[in-house]
Structure 1
Amino acid sequence: MKKVLALIAALVVATLAFAGCGGSQSSSSSSSSSAAQTSGTKTLKVGATAVPHAEILEAAKPLLEKEGIKLDIVEFNDYVQPNLALNDKELDANFFQHDPYLQNFMEEHKEVKLVSAGGVHIEPMGIYSKKVKDLKDLKEGATISIPNDPTNGGRALLLLQKAGLLKLKDGVNEKATLQDIAENPKNFKFQEVEAAQVPRTLDDVDAAIINSNFAMQVQLDPTKDSLFIEDSTSPYVNIVAVRQGDENRPEIQALMKVLHSQEIKDFITNKYKGAVVPAF
């Protein structure tokens, strides 16, 4: 009798074990189905500085969703990490810089291999001051803060030259440095600061040369608050950068199509009112 009971118990255990395997297989099948649905929507991870780049990307989100692409925006507050993260495949693209900056960055970081997928807008660089209302009122020996990276620093010096505050050596381009100043009639002093930090110097210097995106982050209106600003002929078009070979990826092509759409052009024009200018 004991042997019969033992046999029955063994059969019950075996049956339960088999049922358990069947339940697990069903769960696995359900998970696979869920994963397939998730993979049906492609995700693009794009690094950007907050204003206006991340805002423009936010406006592009619903348009990309119609193309079956989810846009994941990763915000940065500097000009170095977005390129390193993209090169290391932590991002699919980034949107924060102009091409002269990218080219100079790759010269300094030989391991980085990035290209432009296309231009989107121009952010005119401006001269700002809390000390004077007119550039002609800047005093002898006044201190001016400028970005410390080569391309934006050179761009700032070219802007100062265009404003008539100094003169650079003949033939100098956007890579101009302080050593390229040929004439400095008022003996201005220069304070070189990381581009994102230049707005914070306004209380301590006589004037500051600020990129529009960083000016807007501290509630400065480039068209109203700047004493002098680049015009629409500026060559510094902000681009979407990708790794070499990725510029033809369907997802990147879809992103650029959306960023070049009439909807995005209207968004830029209406929201920034000249502080950011569409370049397409």
Structure 2
Amino acid sequence: MEKLHATRRHLNQLVVGREKELDFMLIALLQEGHVLLESVPGSGKTWMAKAFAGSFSGKFERLQFTPDVLPSDVTGIRFFNPKLQEFELRPGAVLTNLLLADEINRATPRTQSSLLEAMEEKQATIDGETLLLPNPFIVIATQNPVESQQGTFPLPAAQLDRFLFRLKIGYPDYEEELKIVREFRDNASHKKEIHAVASIEEVQEWAKAAKRVEVHEDIEKYIIELVRATRNHPLIEMGLSSRAALALVHAAQGRAFLDGRSYTTPDDVKYILEPVALHRLLLTAEGMLVTEPENVLKEISESIPSPVEAL
């Protein structure tokens, strides 16, 4: 655990004022989940992802998504080598431990969908041949808010559902922004500070331990009640799926492990509820006119009593 705490300290030195978001990214790494970072341009999404990847010794790939990026750029392709007179495999960006999908909503839906198999099944199929991806494999995708940019392709619900967390990154406060200006004036020297704190083998051991964190039966029932309540709410057209219920369990385990506990609590579930659930909810037309998904989710959370330990 000491190496995990050292990694957290290193990340918080590299990225100013994003402790909570970095913890969510660590939870995703522990549970092999994927993260969608959403914010306006210039808010440090790409730097945060690069700093996170550089803190581990695993393989890192970055793919800048644009409308002309092809599915083969993501998964790979077999091409004919005229010298050898045979087809050769050229692996795509997904054959890595951590893939930064930068500005993912600028790619066409066809290219976006090429990530679905990799994100869900940890494999890529190229011309009929299935390749297993490295362990761990996670995607950190960034996107600017759809309404702020022309020429983007909003991620469909099936793609959004593959992300364990969607993290909306706001503007830093006054002191944080002042610190950013002072520390990042010399970009070249600052970026040299990134170094691997933990090995990929240590990450694999953390992941195994996180999956052994106990989830009491009452916590499981609490999660199911939350999920089912979203399906019955009059202002929600599409509620949380069974995959979302599993995501809540895994994220709660990750948060407990990060805090050094071998068991989960209702507070763990409440802590991770919004970043797990909000991007999976779709309000009705009436609901969009009168409220926001955050308010509906808060109402549901407050209406369901938390399990209490028996005395």
Band the TM-score falls in, shorter-chain normalisation: under 0.3
Higher relative contact order (CA 8 A, sep 6+): 1
More strand, by proportion = 1
